[in-house]
Structure 1
Amino acid sequence: MTSRSTPVLATVAELAGVSAPTVSKVINGRDDVAEATRMRVQAALDQVGYRSPSQRRIRSTGPAMVDLVIGVHDGAYSMEVLRGILDYAVTVDVDVVVSSHTPNKLSRVDHEEWAQRMKESGRTGIIFVTSQVSSDQVRAFSQRGIAVVVIDPLNPPPPGGYASVGATNWAGGKAATEHLLSLGHERVAFLGGPVAAECSIARLHGYLAALMSRGIASRADYVFDGGFNRETGVAATRAVLDLAEPPTAIFAASDTIALGVLEVARERGLRVPDDLSLVGFDSTPLAEQTLPRLTSVAQPLQEMGRAALRGVLRLARGEQLDSAHTELATELVVRDSTARLISTRS
């Protein structure tokens, strides 16, 4: 530190209850300082508004940096969201750092330390994709001036300090189910994602609303939850097809779940859509690559990624968003996996 910084050093040392050399070590990034002490010194530095020369260089001369955390691993979904984020990042000179955290791993991370590392490295904000985000995590980032945006959260995000981006999941679920009902299917099963995932809950409620509007009673044995993965599709499809009265159509809450449905249909000798109609959700490139091509509810995944990055940058600039939650429209894309019911299988 220069002589002009010496008064700052002394003030911070007094506030943190440490020696001036300890403050200097923290400022210069030395690793021979206990974590609790380093955080206490950093809090005092924040209090006096001090930024190290390296922090000033990062923020004044380099591009903004945003972390992207992907929780649930649905490769096709995540890739489309990532593509939208990266396309927009190029136009606004933002670097995106991608990390992968399973729900269990994310719950074990020391969010205070994580947020502090992000602050020290000059991060502008963080985007969570299909992750569980706690109030403690949001608070840790927000207190350090790091903007938080969540795409399709797996739990109701805590109030304040963040923004969220999603699609019209309820309307998409209703449209998918109404399409199957319009083809004469009344025995329609729903295979969902994680039981607490907001997006999956909304799709389920859309499914139930469509049944109710036609006067069709919902059946508990036709509703399953699990994960947005092929394994859920396999397990749930085997279960519903083993029922005394199996469904003639399935609404899968993601295209990846639908892959599992197609797998079981093949192993059981069922033809899709002649014997079993199927609708997915997301309309990722997978929907065009399956055989038959998958009827699916299209989410604007790339635009959701762009909206999330725009939101992070606006929050980081201290701007007020029009709404804490952005919801983009879904659209049913009819392909080859649905057909009119010819006869009811017994």
Structure 2
Amino acid sequence: MTASSDSAAGPSGGAMTVAQIAELAGVSVPTVSRVINGQSDVSPTTRALVEDIIRTHGFRRLKKPGTKAALVELVFHELAGAYAMEVIKGVERVAGENGLAVVLSEMHGHTPGRGWIEGVLARRPVGVIAVFSGLTPAQSDQIHSRDIPFVLVDPTGDPGHEFPSVVASNWSGGFSATRHLLELGHRRIATITGPTRMLSSRARLDGYRAALDDAGTPIAPDLICEGTFQAEDGLTHGRVLLARPDRPTAIFTHNDLQAFGVYRAAAEAGLRIPDDLSVVGFDDLPVTGWVTPPLTTIRQPLTEMAAAAANLVLTLDRGEPLPHQRLELATELVVRGSTAPVPGGAR
């Protein structure tokens, strides 16, 4: 890398060359280049110093043909299950249409580890799509400073205006699921949520509450159980809910995996779905039509959300403005065999 190939906005507003960054940091030009490109052979102290200068003075890589790899980075908090596969299909469809490959990463949590960002900088992808995840402030600065487009799918928190995002209409989904159960005559409707720190879970819970309020049905706090979007949530909370003398006649879970856990809890309790208990999930994973009984659920358009995110990345890479910073795709109630009128007319 030469001093003319990269620049930054200096304190006076002029262009700061890589050589000037090196001079400020008291290191060599190759050292600055290694930091910029995410190479590992730089001491943590030097890396932090150079990154601080870049963050302060707003480094921007000059766009040149061939400086980016033909890759889209797709990052999951957990790379497992049908949810991830639906997202991968959407990104790969758009990537394939544009001659790009897809690199998959797993965070093992909702925030990337320290080494992840260096890998991204070294690979120089066309852009990064993070699913149900976020970045630390330092990682956000690094992504911004290298002009790497970054788009969130189903973000864990409110991304504000920092990064574009693609979401589902979670509030509407929670409202539709609960209203469907209310229309079947259910009044004791429990819900098993995801973590309340997650934006999607809070929105689904708000929709649930709004539907109950709209129907004039009191909201029972003891029928709201917080989970982690795992099947174990449905099993554990389902056992507790169904052991109550005043057990709920219906349960709305915040994803399909939790609903499958409720299926097992109901079987253990000797209850039949939907004769004794109605269940509604969320996501509409492909397997929901094959379980017994087929699951009534809220369709979250995961493949379409992922494809939209990939198109946003490509738009940003071309230097074009986005029409919207936040894109929301509609959810849809899919009625199958796991819901029925309230048993025995009880309410």
Q: TM-score, normalised by structure 1?
A: 0.85
Q: Which residue of 1 aligns with 2:234?
A: 233
Question: Which amino acid in structure 2 is aligned with residue 150 of structure 1?
Answer: L
Does structure 2 retain, via aligned residues, the 8 Å contact 1:188–1:222?
A: yes
**What displacement does 1:26 show?**
7.0
Deviations along 1:160-204, whole A, 9 cap, x unmatched?
Answer: 331111111111111111111111111111111111111111111
> Is 1:17 aligned to residue 21 of structure 2?
no
Question: Which amino acid in structure 2 is aligned with residue 296 of structure 1?
Answer: T
Q: C-alpha separation between the residues in 2 aligned to 1:28 and 1:321?
A: 27
Q: 1:267 to 1:315 in 2, by over 3 A?
A: same
Q: C-alpha separation between the residues in 1 aligned to 2:4 and 2:75?
A: 40
Gaps of 5+ in 1: none
> Is 1:80 aligned to residue 86 of structure 2?
yes
Q: 1:293 to 1:39 in 2, by over 3 A?
A: same
Of residues 35, 43, 64, the one that matches 1:34 is 43
Q: C-alpha separation between the residues in 2 aligned to 1:91 and 1:227?
A: 35
Q: Which residue of 2 aligns with 1:279?
A: 280
Q: C-alpha separation between the residues in 1 aligned to 2:284 and 2:187?
A: 24
Q: Which residue of 2 aligns with 1:295?
A: 296
> Is 1:101 aligned to residue 75 of structure 2?
no
> Is 1:154 aligned to residue 156 of structure 2?
yes
Q: C-alpha separation between the residues in 1 aligned to 2:201 and 2:49?
A: 41
Q: How many residue pairs align between the two structures?
A: 333
Question: Which amino acid in structure 2 is aligned with residue 37 of structure 1?
Answer: T
Does structure 1 retain, via aligned residues, the 8 Å contact 2:281–2:296?
A: yes
**What displacement does 1:95 show?**
1.7
Q: C-alpha separation between the residues in 1 aligned to 2:212 and 2:61?
A: 60
Q: C-alpha separation between the residues in 1 aligned to 2:4 and 2:261?
A: 66
Q: Which residue of 1 aligns with 2:126?
A: 124
**What displacement does 1:140 show?**
2.6
More helix by share: 1
Does structure 2 retain, via aligned residues, the 8 Å contact 1:72–1:131?
A: no
Deviating above 4 A after TM superposition, structure 1's stretches of 4 or more consecutive aligned residues are: 1-5, 8-13, 19-32, 38-44, 46-51, 55-58
Question: Which amino acid in structure 1 is aligned with residue 176 of structure 2?
Answer: A
Q: Which residue of 1 aligns with 2:223?
A: 222
Does structure 2 retain, via aligned residues, the 8 Å contact 1:130–1:152?
A: yes
Q: 1:116 to 1:270 in 2, by over 3 A?
A: same
Q: C-alpha separation between the residues in 1 aligned to 2:143 and 2:18?
A: 25
Q: 1:260 to 1:142 in 2, by over 3 A?
A: same
Question: Which amino acid in structure 1 is aligned with residue 328 of structure 2?
Answer: E
Q: 1:344 to 1:321 in 2, by over 3 A?
A: same
Deviations along 1:7-32, whole A, 9 cap, x unmatched?
Answer: x7865643432246756877999865
**What displacement does 1:231 show?**
0.4
Q: Which residue of 2 aligns with 1:163?
A: 164
Does structure 2 retain, via aligned residues, the 8 Å contact 1:74–1:228?
A: no
Does structure 2 retain, via aligned residues, the 8 Å contact 1:154–1:194?
A: no
Q: C-alpha separation between the residues in 2 aligned to 1:2 and 1:126?
A: 26
Of residues 99, 114, 117, the one that matches 1:115 is 117
Does structure 2 retain, via aligned residues, the 8 Å contact 1:142–1:161?
A: no
Question: Which amino acid in structure 1 is aligned with residue 122 of structure 2?
Answer: E
Q: C-alpha separation between the residues in 1 aligned to 2:228 and 2:59?
A: 47
**What displacement does 1:47 show?**
7.8
Question: Which amino acid in structure 2 is aligned with residue 16 of structure 1?
Answer: A
Q: 1:82 to 1:31 in 2, by over 3 A?
A: closer
Q: Which residue of 1 aligns with 2:10?
A: none
Q: 1:72 to 1:156 in 2, by over 3 A?
A: farther
What is the percent sequence identity of the aligned residues? 42
> Is 1:254 aligned to residue 236 of structure 2?
no
Q: C-alpha separation between the residues in 2 aligned to 1:307 and 1:15?
A: 41
Does structure 2 retain, via aligned residues, the 8 Å contact 1:173–1:207?
A: yes
Does structure 1 retain, via aligned residues, the 8 Å contact 2:58–2:145?
A: no
Q: TM-score, normalised by structure 2?
A: 0.85
Q: C-alpha separation between the residues in 2 aligned to 1:271 and 1:90?
A: 45
